Amino acid sequence: MKNKRAILLVTFGTSVQAAVPAFVNLEQTVKDTFPGVEVRWAYTAKTIRDIIAERDGKIINDPITALKRLWEDGFEKVVVQSVHVIPGREYNDLVADLNGLLMSQSVVKGIALGKPLLYHHEDYIAAAEAITAQLPVNTAANAVVLMGHGSEHHPADAAYGKFNDVLRHKYKNVFLGTVEGYPTLEEIVADLAASGVKNVTLMPFMNIAGDHALNDLYGDGRDSWKTRLNGLGYKTDGYIKGLLENRGFINIYLKHLSAAMSQINYSSALDC
């Protein structure tokens, strides 16, 4: 029984049905990489879980409930894989919740935690390489603006600034901004003005092309980045796909997952 292994993929979640195939793509790749290992999902966002339950009649568990269900089903060795871009609030809350659960158990469980996308320095380098497949042939003439989520009140927000710097050193006119952190669109506008380029491709730097990508980035509302850049005289087009539709980014998650699979141990606490 103790040899039964499972992987629990944990993310914020989405109610945007068109974005779900990106999650399916990750799940299938994980199943192909670890044949015979049970793979399940958990969403941290209660609002998203409630919308899906009411609209689709589908129950997606929160991480703690999902982990308990795995234990009840006899899976004694579980890797909880963070499907988050940075080790921000969502990731820290996941670690805290898991540790709280572990400390409440009378029997110590075999568990490990896979790191989020951008965790080690080499992850930033691999991510910068992965995005090559999405870029225009000549970014000197066609700039790229990436939209990340951001985490304004969490120190991990600095990850976006670091990745923006990595991109600057690797590519010409590829800029990263965030919806809720730093850099902002204002910094991007200054970078675009300095570049002199007038053609801009907009891309989400998020696991899926959900609400932020469809509305805040490329929507027709007056506050979307597309509308605001158009108003400044830029000609925009969009590459509206999530990172989980790019095998290069999935490979980073797989690397973290593989490391965690090799480190499952019977522990009463997990490190961040």
Binding positions for Co(2+): 149, 180, 212
Q: With contact defined as beta carbons under 8 Å apart, do 37 and 29 qualify?
A: no
Distance from C-alpha of 131 to C-alpha of 89, rounded to nearest angstrom: 25
- Going by the annotation, the residues of the binding site are 149, 180, 212
- Catalytic residue chosen out of the listed positions 120, 121, 149, 154: 149
Rounded to 5, what percent of the chain is helix, strand, coil? Answer: 45, 20, 35
Bridge partners (DSSP) listed for residue 142: 199
Starting at the edge strand found earlier in the chain, the sheet holding 174-178 runs 174-178, 142-148, 199-204, 235-238
Residue 256 is a catalytic residue = no
- Residues 6 or more apart whose CB falls under 8 angstroms from that of 109 comprise 71, 76, 78, 102, 266
Enter the DSSP assignment of 205. -
Q: Which residues are catalytic?
A: 149
